[in-house]
Structure 1
């Protein structure tokens, strides 16, 4: 039987990306590709090129390289090997009817190479799952943009569908909650911080449904008008996680990390919030980073190490990061269900 007769379904998992090595030249190369994306830094191209090539990449790369060296393991970049582990386990779970490929939006393995892998399998259709739970133009939107840019040059384009958001997916929520419960079984925590990667406020307003999003109470419910609002999605994930963990509203907060530049980003800022908690009598914090499904620099280093140091210096006693989903069996099952349902 030929490959074309198998009727395989292609699955494309995509994460953000990582330098090939933690050395400065590779980190600089990664930063340039990442930050030159018009959906990441949405300013006119000439200004964006001048900013990235003239200031950010040259000066930030050496500092970032030092941090990446702290993150690197014998297997390399966690974001990469956790993604490859997820691919392998999902393939085994889905079986021969499916072919699972994995790509990065920036650097390698590229989205193009992953799509070529699926094309070689003569898949009859492709399901694309950007591994970002909450939709943002700078992450999920960028992946969708890149996929369409690549396949437009194919002579035969199979049916392609995107899973644009899974911020409220039951399997996603239950797996993250279970990881937190493992820590809560060992220690009594005063408070839970749900820290999400930030985006500029203008990104939210640009994507608003006819002015619906106002960066306020509009995010207190998750509905068809703010389904693709990153802020509303983060609050929706937090409410569901809090419910699964049995938390009251006064036992957790939602905040945002990793801002860049002087323009206003989503608030409150995690680094500000955590330094205020000890003065309120909150000394033991369980920290989540639910915008990431695989551990990386923003989880392990920023939330797990740098924020911990800030919290302890402010008078806190314990700051515990909940590990990301990585290739947890429950998460593999959850991804499988998302694929089967789409």
Structure 2
């Protein structure tokens, strides 16, 4: 009697070597000085997935207009955000790197990388290469997939690996919109404020994208209909950034028992004059006090670490706008940062990658 090939293979095989885990956030300037901020803006905005226009137009726009004029203004804001140890986004990233390494143990090697500036993705991957790791998991720190964020990380990782003689087994975490612990992390952060204050309204503000990028993401050419196709997350629109944002909101609303009519999803940080995904957060805020809404609990669930777009934009600038429009109480729910539940989320993403 002959045995089948499947019968001759052990049910479980001992894994050879360690697994590399590359955790990747967007990036931050090396310092809040104008030259470093300008350098960061140039690298970030010259990415063809971020500003998706022809190279020559992008080069002129970024290097002749945006970087020269925006860098000094952004540098002032970064100085407000900066801590003695450095950029909060990088500080939280370094803490998460250590905490995740401790939780995963010796079978894994965890490295922090930034898509733009330091520590660079290429540096982290080359460290894995020097260690002989041929099994790598990449976790972009973007809950909702977008070409300009997660897609850009994919592209950079593959650009680096294309030079390697020995190609590793490579796995990406595409998104974690509906991961229970990711949702619970924001729920826990929100509940402490809800226990202290009764809020009239709940605003879920996500980083915006140009509408054209959302449309381009519909590879079928038939699904994307702004305002009509984001009511649920389906097999056909699962990679639509806007639909994923609305899904995150639905899950948070359900977990927090927020009544219908008491919340809204909106989009912030738009740049330029072309249409971006709507509604715009700043426009929504201006209208709230006129509707009798005097207290708002604000969320930024597109960010897992507090940064310029959360602490300054949502936490301070939008608070000022709300109060100028007649509002009384504005509270930002902090991001997951280095919280235990965020580490638990990451462990689960690694083990199930």
Number of residue-to-residue matches in the alignment: 338
Deviation string 1:219-262 (CA, Å, 9 cap, x unpaired) is 11101111110000000000001111111221110000000000
Pairing partner for 1:44 from 51, 54, 67: 54
Residue 6 (structure 1) shift: 5.3
CA distance in 2, matches of 1:176, 1:121: 36
Residue 103 (structure 1) shift: 0.3
Matches within 5 A, 1:235-250: 235-250=246-261
**Who is 1:132 aligned against?**
142
Residue 121 (structure 1) shift: 2.5
Provide runs of 4+ in structure 1 moved above 6 Å: none
Deviation string 1:68-87 (CA, Å, 9 cap, x unpaired) is 00000011101101011111
Pairing partner for 1:321 from 328, 332, 337: 332
Deviation string 1:113-141 (CA, Å, 9 cap, x unpaired) is 11112222222311100000000000000
CA distance in 2, matches of 1:123, 1:186: 49
Is the contact between residue 195 and residue 256 of structure 1 (CA under 8 Å) also seen in structure 2?
Answer: yes
Q: Give the stretch that moved more between structures: 55-64 or 208-217.
A: 208-217
Deviation string 1:121-172 (CA, Å, 9 cap, x unpaired) is 2223111000000000000000000000000001111100111111111110
**Who is 2:121 aligned against?**
111
Is the contact between residue 136 and residue 230 of structure 1 (CA under 8 Å) also seen in structure 2?
Answer: yes
Is the contact between residue 209 and residue 225 of structure 1 (CA under 8 Å) also seen in structure 2?
Answer: no
Pairing partner for 2:342 from 325, 331, 339: 331
The residue matched to 1:218 in structure 2 has which SS? coil
What stretches of structure 1 of length at least 5 have no aligned partner?
A: none
**Who is 1:162 aligned against?**
172
The residue matched to 1:254 in structure 2 has which SS? strand
Is the contact between residue 207 and residue 267 of structure 2 (CA under 8 Å) also seen in structure 1?
Answer: yes
Bigger Rg, which one = 2
Matched, 1:149 2:172: no
Is the contact between residue 6 and residue 97 of structure 1 (CA under 8 Å) also seen in structure 2?
Answer: no
TM-score w.r.t. the length of structure 1 is 0.97
Q: Give the stretch that moved more between structures: 242-251 or 209-218.
A: 209-218
Is the contact between residue 134 and residue 167 of structure 2 (CA under 8 Å) also seen in structure 1?
Answer: no
CA distance in 1, matches of 2:279, 2:77: 25
Deviation string 1:260-319 (CA, Å, 9 cap, x unpaired) is 000000000000101111111111100000000000000000000000000011111110
Pairing partner for 1:193 from 199, 203, 215: 203
